[in-house]
Amino acid sequence: MAEGSTKVVLAALGGNLMIALTKFVAAAMTGSAAMFSEAIHSVVDSGNQLLLLYGIRRARRPPTPQHPFGHGREVYFWSFVVAVLLFGIGAGLSIYDGWHALSHPEPVKSPWVNFAVLGFAVLFEGFSWVVALREFRRGQSGVGILSAVHRSKNPSVFVVLLEDTAALIGLLLAGIGLTLGEVTGNPIFDAYASIAIGVVLAVVAALLAYESKGLLIGESADRRVVEGIRRIVGEEARVKRPLDVLTMHMGPDDVLLNLSVEFQDSLNAREVEDAVCSLESRIRSQYPIIRRIFVEAESLRVRRGRDADGAAPPQGLPAE
């Protein structure tokens, strides 16, 4: 998964750097506000992809005494930073440039340059979008894009996918604005296109911030994974019943699992230990992303207290 994420980000970075250069040249030659907004968008995207690569690299560092669970969640932090930059710089500058163009409308010069650059940009952005979509769709088949984004735990891929989607929409808006300006002779449509591009970037940035925030705070594993773990525990003959199945993503491919299990009353300490080893082996075999497993065996005294009072004791009570 990490290799696929890096490939997606590198493909997007290469395409955006080339596109940004051509857009700036075209904006300088024609004076188009929409093209200038698109150039800013490509620069912001390139910077964002550099930040994602940095986050992916730092997330691969091994655990340390200060960070015993590793650094996998760094990629979540940098994804949130990307969302903030996309909103503040990309959307903000695009809307401002469009507003300025509304106040001082000027006709676009050499429109054929803009149309040529837009076509060139669509090819590169489309290639990057296809690469990101293919990687994103691995393991997400049969689910809508927004639902898949919400379920995904790998922000480096869905950030690129959403950015590329916003870029393609922005290119379409820029093309519409330029076309209407040429047909009507009114440059105000170019300014409206710039503002519309800024609004699109703001919406995408808000969505990225929302999803990255959830991962940064700590999200559980996919519901299907949790249900599968509960099924595995329930199939173990030495287990009376699973109590809690608590999971948390420490990175895109790193899940922490805490199990609270009630074992059969007749088991001795050695048999409980064997049952725990069996559970860990089966869970890791079926779900390799689960890197750490902690099993809490409920004590006999706590079980008797539950039976006597009719209620479970507070979670986290140490077993005796």
Distances in whole angstroms, Cα of residue 27 to Cα of each of 31, 48, 114, 178, 282: 5, 22, 8, 12, 59
**Terminal-residue alpha carbon distance, the chain:** 41
pLDDT digits (tens, 9 = 90+) for 286-295: 999 999 999 9
- Residue 4: pLDDT band with limits 50, 70, 90: low
Whole-number Å distance between alpha carbons of 172 and 142: 28
Residue 161 has pLDDT above 90, yes or no: no
- Residue 217: other Cβ atoms inside 10 A: 10
Residue 17 has pLDDT above 50, yes or no: yes
- Our CA dihedral for 235, 236, 240, 246, rounded to 10 degrees, sits at -80
**What proportion of the chain, given as a percentage, has pLDDT over 90?**
18
- 46: Cα separation from own chain's centroid: 17
Residue 216 has pLDDT above 50, yes or no: yes
| C-alpha neighbours within 13 Å on the C-beta side of residue 266 | 2
pLDDT digits (tens, 9 = 90+) for 243-270: 899 999 998 889 999 999 988 888 888 8
Least confident interval from 181-185, 196-200, 295-299: 295-299
Q: Which residues pair with 260 in a beta bridge?
A: 244, 296
Q: Whole-model pTM?
A: 0.75
Residue 196 has pLDDT above 90, yes or no: yes
- Residue 47: pLDDT band with limits 50, 70, 90: confident
Whether the Cβ atoms of residue 295 and residue 276 lie closer than 8 Å to each other: yes
Whole-number Å distance between alpha carbons of 36 and 28: 8
| C-alpha neighbours within 13 Å on the C-beta side of residue 30 | 25
Domains of the chain: 1-217 (1.20.1510.10), 223-309 (3.30.70.1350)
- Residue 2: pLDDT band with limits 50, 70, 90: low
SS (H, E, C) 71-131: CCCHHHHHHHHHHHHHHHHHHHHHHHHHHHHHHCCCCCCCHHHHHHHHHHHHHHHHHHHHH
Whole-number Å distance between alpha carbons of 109 and 316: 70
Q: Which candidate, 249, 201, 223, places its Cα nearest to that of 89?
A: 201
Find where tokens 């959830």 sit: 214
**Tokens linked to 107:** 């006709």
